Amino acid sequence: MNASLILLAILVEVLLGACAGKLPETRFYQLAPATPTTEAKGDATLVLEALATDPAYDDDRIVYRTTPYRLDYYQYHRWSAAPGTMVGNYLEQAFESSGKFRSVVREASADAPAVLGGRVLAIEEIDTSKTSWRGRIVIELTLTDTKTGAVMWTEQFDESEPLAAQTPEGLAKALSTAMARIASRAAPVVADLVNQQSKLRVGANP
Q: Is the pLDDT of residue 144 over 50?
A: yes
The number of C-alpha atoms within 13 Å of 129 and in the hemisphere containing its C-beta is 3
pLDDT tier at 200, thresholds 50, 70, 90 = confident
pLDDT tier at 142, thresholds 50, 70, 90 = very high
pLDDT of residue 34: 80
**pLDDT tens profile 151-179:** 999 999 999 999 998 999 999 999 999 99
* Ranges of each domain in the chain: 26-204
Alpha-carbon distance 127 to 163, whole Å? 10
Q: Is the pLDDT of residue 12 over 80?
A: no
Alpha-carbon distance 187 to 96, whole Å? 10
Rounded-to-10 torsion of CA 143, 149, 152, 156: 40
Q: Is the pLDDT of residue 5 over 90?
A: no
**pLDDT tens profile 43-83:** 889 999 999 999 999 999 999 999 999 999 999 999 999 99
Distance of CA 69 to the CA centre of its chain: 22
pLDDT tier at 22, thresholds 50, 70, 90 = confident
User: Which is more confidently placed, 54 or 42?
Assistant: 54
The third-level CATH classification (topology) of the domain covering 26-204 is Rossmann fold (3.40.50)
pLDDT of residue 112: 87
What is the percentage of the chain residues whose pLDDT exceeds 70?
85
Instruction: Of 20-29, 60-69, 95-104, 150-159, give the lowest mean pLDDT range.
Output: 20-29
